[in-house]
């Protein structure tokens, strides 16, 4: 039975049990209706608790039911029935109360949560808005501005934040259900506090308008965030029942939208990425102490990511001064996290307390996993890994963060090379979600499984890639950039290409990205590879010409654009340089429309994606979608390039 009813004296206890995440499937909704009616009809029941078995409170509506004809009772009606109950109903929340799960809790008359519980309305991430009263009830408890923030970002609130903002009444000290029963008993004989009857607190309309404008800008073409935010405003403007009806109509419309279908593809793709054929029953090796070699920008970001996930981190630099500078870099990243409100002062102190920095590699001896983030040069890395092989336990895992080198060449110097793999982080590593887990030729199944498990514990998304130049992401990005450079030489200008791709929904156009990252590193790589370049392949020399003219990107005030007083503008010198390059290549320049630019880029990405699949580098088209979305700013609401190409 999906919902059972037990008794604790005069308190009825409804328990939802629908593994793995207690989604509000049809059986749960029907069960809730039936058991609630029974509890309400029983005169010996004075109060009711709603809780869940297993690892979490209800994690939302059942996304697997989205494409199917809806079956009654619908979730909004279940929530309304709970709210209408004349006996007090208390939600006892553990794990994650998300989407329809939080909406069920909002329908209850009081909420109590365990200290590590999290709550949120992540519907926008599926391209929809909450559909069971979330946008109408939430602002009544926590105010409009905070509700707009939660529904438009889909972010989760901790129990502490939920308590401070008025979403929950209490955080349970010890046993959650016992505390919920005490709370429920204290409410017996009082009029239930029905969320829908609470007036929406006054708010500053101008400020909230600004908030919505910012939401729209950030959504880059995705509809649901602003739609959810506007529904919150309507909660303040419409009678409750009309607000609920408006929300339901928006939900039903968006659930059919292409954007929601694409985002549901992404949701499924993320779960699929973790499933690797042959690893189903493989147990990962235990990892608690992690070594990070190199505490530059990348290494510091990696260290912060591991500290945030509860690991003990030993960071090593080449000498005392560099170790000290590395520690300061890591502390600087924490200071930024604190300033932006992403972590509390207590968390900052606790996490930094698990960091030690050293100037000797020998100090990595107790590590279960060592990851390097040193200069991307084969001889530097082989020297390092040969040394590491003698320092750590023979079964400790060794990982390279190389972007372009061949990890199998590095593996050649590792003793027990089956413990060696690639963990390719994206910069800034404490923020970016993607990690390519690179499957080296000899890697042991449990080492690959450990790589994926560690990445998951970091709260990041791991995608397995085979070995090739640039792995999945940078190899496709190279093809993407190549296509853009061809158009640059054929007649488009950097700002036209960037505008077309940003119009499509990319976070940033490729030339703006290049200016931010700096043009010199790839220039050095091109010079290194010049001798082995295939002379028959078209080569666009514009980037080289720019570097020769001292355009290294934002850091030098000029790259593909000109940067003056923090403002980016089109640089006539660059335009002239590009036109000269076209002429030199014997090309008559022509105009490009935005649609053509986008189509060319997508075709280039998809062709490379197909090659990568054919070679077995990526396991499935949806993995390529995830890499592009999470590493290169491809708009998630378009589902990814392979999804767009129909390769689902
Ligand atoms: N419906 C159906 N299945 C779900 C589900 C959901 N809402 N959420 C998760 N699952 C499934 C996953 O597909 C996965 O199945 P699999 O094992 O067959 O691959 C399994 O549950 C475990 O999920 P995860 O691998 O994601 O487990 P984690 O422990 O890493 O994370 C979680 C758990 C935080 C609950 C995460 O699954 C999650 O964020 N789920 C989505 C929550 C969500 O989006 N809720 C809103 C739904 S829309 C809604 O409620 C509309 C309403 O307003 C009407």
DSSP string, 411-439: HTTSSSGGGEEEEEE-SSTTT--EEEEE-
Distance in angstroms (rounded) separating the CA atoms of residues 198 and 279: 51
Beta bridge mates, 90: 49, 110
How many A from CA of 434 to the centre of ligand 1? 19
Choose the catalytic residue: 83, 103, 372, 483. Answer: 103
- Return the best residue to mutate from 59, 71, 256 for the ligand 1 pocket (most ligand atoms within 8 A of CB): 59
Choose the catalytic residue: 17, 65, 118, 123. Answer: 123
- Return the best residue to mutate from 19, 20, 232, 268 for the ligand 1 pocket (most ligand atoms within 8 A of CB): 20
Strands 369-372 and 397-400: parallel
At 67 the pLDDT is 82
Report the largest interatomic distance among the alpha carbons of the chain, rounded to a whole angstrom.
91
DSSP H or E run through 3: strand 3-8
At 331 the pLDDT is 97
How many A from CA of 643 to the centre of ligand 1? 21
Q: Name which of 197, 92, 210 is nearest 152 in CA terms.
A: 210
As averages over each run of 10 residues, the pLDDT of the chain (648 residues) reads: 95 98 98 98 97 97 91 97 97 98 98 97 98 98 97 96 96 95 95 96 95 94 97 97 98 96 97 94 97 96 98 97 97 95 92 97 97 93 96 97 94 96 95 97 97 98 96 96 97 98 95 93 87 91 96 95 93 97 96 97 97 97 98 96 87
Atom of ligand 1 nearest to the CA of 130: 53
- Measured by CA distance, the residue closest to atom 54 of ligand 1 is 131
Of the CA atoms within 13 Å of residue 601, those in its CB half-sphere come to: 27
How many A from CA of 385 to the centre of ligand 1? 39
Ligand 1 shell residues, CB under 6 Å: 20-21, 23, 56, 59-64, 75, 96, 98-100, 103, 122-123, 126, 130-132, 134, 271
- Measured by CA distance, the residue closest to atom 47 of ligand 1 is 60
- Measured by CA distance, the residue closest to atom 9 of ligand 1 is 21
Distance of CA 212 to the CA centre of its chain: 22
| Cβ proximity of 199 and 97 under 8 Å | no
Burial 138-171 (b: 16+ CB within 10 A, else e): bbbbbbbebbbbbbbbbebbbbebbbebebbbbb
How many A from CA of 21 to the centre of ligand 1? 6
Atom of ligand 1 nearest to the CA of 154: 44
Distance in angstroms (rounded) separating the CA atoms of residues 136 and 241: 9
At 521 the pLDDT is 84
Burial 498-517 (b: 16+ CB within 10 A, else e): bebbbebbbeebbbbbbbee
Question: Does a cis peptide bond (omega within 30 degrees of 0) precede residue 20?
Answer: yes
At 517 the pLDDT is 87
Q: Residue 227 — φ and ψ, nearest 5°?
A: -60, -45
Atom of ligand 1 nearest to the CA of 134: 53
Distance in angstroms (rounded) separating the CA atoms of residues 596 and 500: 9
Of the CA atoms within 13 Å of residue 570, those in its CB half-sphere come to: 12
How many A from CA of 17 to the centre of ligand 1? 15
How many A from CA of 435 to the centre of ligand 1? 21
207 has catalytic annotation: no
Atom of ligand 1 nearest to the CA of 61: 50
Beta bridge mates, 170: 112
Distance in angstroms (rounded) separating the CA atoms of residues 407 and 400: 7
| Cβ proximity of 505 and 635 under 8 Å | yes
At 461 the pLDDT is 98
List helix spans (H) across 288-344.
297-308, 320-339
- Measured by CA distance, the residue closest to atom 38 of ligand 1 is 59
Instruction: From residue 304, give the alpha-carbon distance in Å to each of 233, 269, 276, 366, 450.
Output: 38, 27, 28, 19, 19
How many A from CA of 260 to the centre of ligand 1? 15
At 424 the pLDDT is 97
At 238 the pLDDT is 97
Cβ-Cβ contacts under 8 Å for 104 (sequence gap 6 or more): 24, 32, 50, 58, 75, 78, 79, 82, 91, 97, 132
Q: First-to-last CA distance in the chain?
A: 35
Q: What is the DSSP string of 522-559?
A: HHHHHHHHGGGS-TTS----HHHHHHHTT--BGGGTBS
Q: Residue 589 — φ and ψ, nearest 5°?
A: -70, 145
Atom of ligand 1 nearest to the CA of 275: 19
- Return the best residue to mutate from 25, 29, 60, 274 for the ligand 1 pocket (most ligand atoms within 8 A of CB): 60
103 has catalytic annotation: yes
At 648 the pLDDT is 58
How many A from CA of 118 to the centre of ligand 1? 14
Q: To the nearest 10°, report the CA torsion of 133, 137, 142, 144.
A: 80
Cβ-Cβ contacts under 8 Å for 201 (sequence gap 6 or more): 139, 140, 143, 144
At 529 the pLDDT is 85
């Amino acid at each position: 039975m999906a919902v059972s009813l037990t008794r604790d004296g005069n308190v009825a206890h409804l328990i939802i049990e629908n593994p793995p995440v207690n989604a509000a499937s049809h059986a749960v909704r029907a069960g809730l209706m039936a058991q609630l009616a029974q509890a309400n009809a029983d005169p010996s029941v004075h109060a009711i608790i709603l809780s869940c078995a297993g690892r979490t409170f209800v994690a939302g509506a059942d996304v697997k039911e989205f494409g199917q004809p809806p079956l009654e009772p619908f979730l909004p009606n279940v929530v309304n029935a709970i709210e209408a109950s004349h006996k007090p109903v208390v939600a006892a929340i553990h794990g994650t109360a998300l989407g329809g799960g939080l909406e069920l809790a909002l329908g209850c008359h009081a909420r109590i949560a365990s200290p590590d519980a999290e709550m949120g309305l992540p519907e926008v991430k599926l391209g929809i808005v909450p559909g069971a009263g979330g946008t109408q009830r939430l602002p009544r408890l926590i105010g409009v501005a905070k509700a707009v923030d939660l529904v438009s970002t889909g972010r989760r609130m901790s129990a502490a934040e939920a308590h401070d903002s008025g979403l929950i009444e209490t955080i349970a000290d010890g046993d959650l259900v016992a505390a919920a029963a005490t709370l429920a008993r204290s409410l017996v004989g009082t009029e239930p506090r029905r969320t829908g009857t609470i007036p929406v607190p006054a708010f500053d309309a101008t400020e909230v308008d600004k908030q919505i404008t910012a939401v729209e800008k950030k959504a880059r073409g995705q509809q649901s965030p602003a739609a959810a935010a506007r529904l919150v405003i309507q909660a303040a403007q419409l009678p409750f029942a009309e607000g609920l009806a408006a929300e339901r109509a928006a939900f039903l419309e968006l659930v059919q939208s292409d954007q929601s279908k694409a985002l549901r593809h992404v949701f499924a793709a993320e779960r699929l990425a973790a499933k690797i054929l042959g690893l189903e029953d493989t147990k990962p090796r235990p990892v608690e102490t992690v070594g990070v070699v190199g505490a530059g920008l990348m290494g510091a970001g990696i260290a912060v990511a591991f500290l945030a996930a509860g690991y003990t981190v030993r960071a090593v630099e080449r000498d005392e001064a560099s170790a000290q500078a590395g520690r300061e870099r890591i502390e600087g990243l924490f200071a930024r996290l604190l300033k932006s409100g992403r972590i509390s002062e207590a968390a900052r102190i606790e996490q930094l307390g698990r960091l030690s920095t050293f100037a000797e590699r020998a100090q990595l001896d107790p590590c279960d996993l060592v990851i390097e983030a040193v200069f991307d040069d084969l001889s530097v890395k082989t020297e390092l890994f040969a040394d590491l092989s003698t320092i750590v336990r023979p079964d400790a895992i060794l990982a390279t963060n190389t972007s372009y080198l061949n990890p199998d060449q590095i593996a050649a110097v590792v003793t027990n090379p089956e413990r060696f793999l690639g963990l390719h982080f994206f910069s800034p590593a404490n923020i970016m979600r993607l990690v390519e887990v690179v499957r080296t030729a000899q890697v042991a199944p449990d080492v690959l499984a450990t790589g994926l498990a560690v990445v998951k514990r970091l709260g990041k998304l791991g995608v397995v890639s085979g070995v090739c130049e640039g792995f999945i992401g940078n190899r496709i990005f190279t093809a993407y950039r190549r296509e853009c450079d061809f158009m640059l030489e054929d007649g488009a200008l950097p700002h036209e290409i960037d505008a077309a791709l940003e119009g499509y929904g990319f976070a940033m156009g490729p030339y703006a990205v290049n200016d931010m990252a700096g043009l010199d590193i790839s220039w050095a790589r091109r010079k290194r590879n010049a001798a082995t370049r295939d002379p028959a392949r078209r080569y666009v020399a514009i980037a080289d010409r720019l570097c020769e003219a001292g355009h290294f990107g934002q850091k030098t005030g000029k790259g593909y654009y000109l940067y003056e007083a923090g403002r980016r503008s089109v640089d006539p010198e660059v335009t002239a340089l590009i036109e000269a390059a076209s002429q030199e290549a014997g090309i008559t320049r022509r105009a490009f429309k935005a649609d053509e630019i986008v189509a060319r880029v997508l075709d280039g990405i998809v062709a490379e994606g197909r090659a990568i699949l054919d070679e077995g580098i990526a396991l499935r088209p949806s993995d390529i979608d995830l890499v592009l979305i999470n590493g290169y700013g491809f708009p998630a609401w378009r589902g990814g390039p392979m999804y767009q190409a129909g390769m689902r």
